[in-house]
Chain A
Amino acid sequence: MKKLLILTPVILLLSGCSGNWGWYVVDPTTSSGWTNLKFMASGAYYTIVMSVTAILISVVVGLLVALPGLSKKREWRMFNRTYVEIVRAVPILVLILWVYYGLPALSGITLNVFWAGVLALALSDSAFQAEIFRAGIQSIARGQYEAAQSISLNYRDTMRYIILPQAIRRILPALGNQLVYMLKMSSLVSVIGLQELTRKANELVVSEYRPLEIYTVLVLEYLVLILIVSAGVRWFERRMNASEM
Chain B
Amino acid sequence: MSIISMQNVSKYFGDFQALKNVSLDVALGERVVICGPSGSGKSTLIRCINRLEAHEDGQIVVDGTVLSDDPADLEKIRGLVGMVFQQFNLFPHLTVLENLCIGPRRVLGLTEAEARARAMKYLERVQIPDQADKFPRQLSGGQQQRVAIARSLCMEPRILLFDEPTSALDPEMIAEVLEVMTELAISGMTMIVVTHEMGFARRVADRMVFMDKGEIVEIGAPGDVFDAPKSQRFAQFIKQILNH
Interface residues of A (CB under 8 A from B): 141, 143-144, 146-147, 149-154, 157, 161-162, 165-166, 169, 244-245
Q: Would A157 and B91 count as touching, CB distance under 8 A?
A: no
Query: Nearest A residue to B161 by beta-carbon distance?
Result: A150
A153-B103 CB under 8 A given contacts A143-B85, A147-B89: yes
Query: Nearest A residue to B104 by beta-carbon distance?
Result: A151
Q: Would A153 and B106 count as touching, CB distance under 8 A?
A: yes
B93's partner among A147, A152, A169 (CB-CB below 8 A) is: A169
A166-B93 CB under 8 A given contacts A151-B102, A151-B107, A152-B79: yes
9 closest pairs, A vs B, by CB? Answer: A151-B103, A147-B89, A143-B89, A150-B83, A152-B78, A152-B107, A157-B106, A165-B93, A146-B52
Q: Would A161 and B102 count as touching, CB distance under 8 A?
A: yes
List B41-95 residues whose CB lies under 8 Å from chain A: 50, 52, 75, 78-79, 81-83, 85, 87, 89-93
Q: Would B91 and A150 count as touching, CB distance under 8 A?
A: no
Return B129 CB to nearest CB of chain A, in Å.
20
B87's partner among A143, A149, A161, A245 (CB-CB below 8 A) is: A143
Chain A interface main SS type: helix
A-B contact pairs, 22 of them (CB 8 A): A143-B87, A143-B89, A144-B89, A144-B91, A146-B52, A146-B83, A146-B85, A146-B89, A147-B91, A147-B151, A150-B50, A150-B81, A150-B85, A151-B82, A152-B79, A152-B103, A161-B102, A161-B106, A166-B91, A166-B93, A244-B92, A244-B135
B78's partner among A144, A149, A162, A245 (CB-CB below 8 A) is: A149
Return A72 CB to nearest CB of chain B, in Å.
11
Q: A7 to B137, alpha carbons, bound, how many Å?
A: 54
Q: Would A151 and B135 count as touching, CB distance under 8 A?
A: no
A149-B52 CB under 8 A given contacts A169-B93, A244-B135, A245-B135: yes
List B121-141 residues whose CB lies under 8 Å from chain A: 135, 137-138
Q: A144 to B155, alpha carbons, bound, how many Å?
A: 17
0 or 1 for each of B149-188: is its CB under 8 Å from A? (1 = yes): 0011011000000000000000000000000000000000
Number of A-B contacts (CB under 8 A): 66
Return B211 CB to nearest CB of chain A, in Å.
21
Q: Would B90 and A147 count as touching, CB distance under 8 A?
A: yes
B102's partner among A146, A149, A153, A244 (CB-CB below 8 A) is: A153
Instruction: Point out the residues of chain A lying under 8 angstroms from B138, CB to CB.
Output: 245
Instruction: Point out the residues of chain A lying under 8 angstroms from B135, CB to CB.
Output: 244-245
Return A22 CB to nearest CB of chain B, in Å.
55
Q: Would B50 and A149 count as touching, CB distance under 8 A?
A: yes
Return B166 CB to nearest CB of chain A, in Å.
16
Return A2 CB to nearest CB of chain B, in Å.
49
Q: A52 to B85, alpha carbons, bound, how many Å?
A: 43
Instruction: Point out the residues of chain B lying under 8 angstroms from A152, CB to CB.
Output: 75, 78-79, 103, 107, 155
A166-B92 CB under 8 A given contacts A151-B152, A152-B75: yes
Query: Nearest A residue to B90 by beta-carbon distance?
Result: A147
Q: A88 to B87, alpha carbons, bound, how many Å?
A: 39
Return B150 CB to nearest CB of chain A, in Å.
12
Instruction: Point out the residues of chain B lying under 8 angstroms from A146, CB to CB.
Output: 52, 83, 85, 89
Q: Would B106 and A162 count as touching, CB distance under 8 A?
A: no
Return B27 CB to nearest CB of chain A, in Å.
22
Q: Would A162 and B155 count as touching, CB distance under 8 A?
A: no
Instruction: Point out the residues of chain A lying under 8 angstroms from B89, CB to CB.
Output: 141, 143-144, 146-147
Q: A161 to B102, alpha carbons, bound, how many Å?
A: 8
A150-B92 CB under 8 A given contacts A157-B106, A161-B102, A161-B106: no
Instruction: Point out the residues of chain B lying under 8 angstroms from A165, CB to CB.
Output: 93
Q: A153 to B138, alpha carbons, bound, how many Å?
A: 25
Instruction: Point out the residues of chain A lying under 8 angstroms from B50, CB to CB.
Output: 149-150
0 or 1 for each of B97-125: is its CB under 8 Å from A? (1 = yes): 00000110011000000000000000000
Q: A166 to B135, alpha carbons, bound, how many Å?
A: 14
Return A166 CB to nearest CB of chain B, in Å.
5
Return B38 CB to nearest CB of chain A, in Å.
18
Return A241 CB to nearest CB of chain B, in Å.
10
Q: A152 to B78, alpha carbons, bound, how many Å?
A: 6
Q: A165 to B95, alpha carbons, bound, how many Å?
A: 13
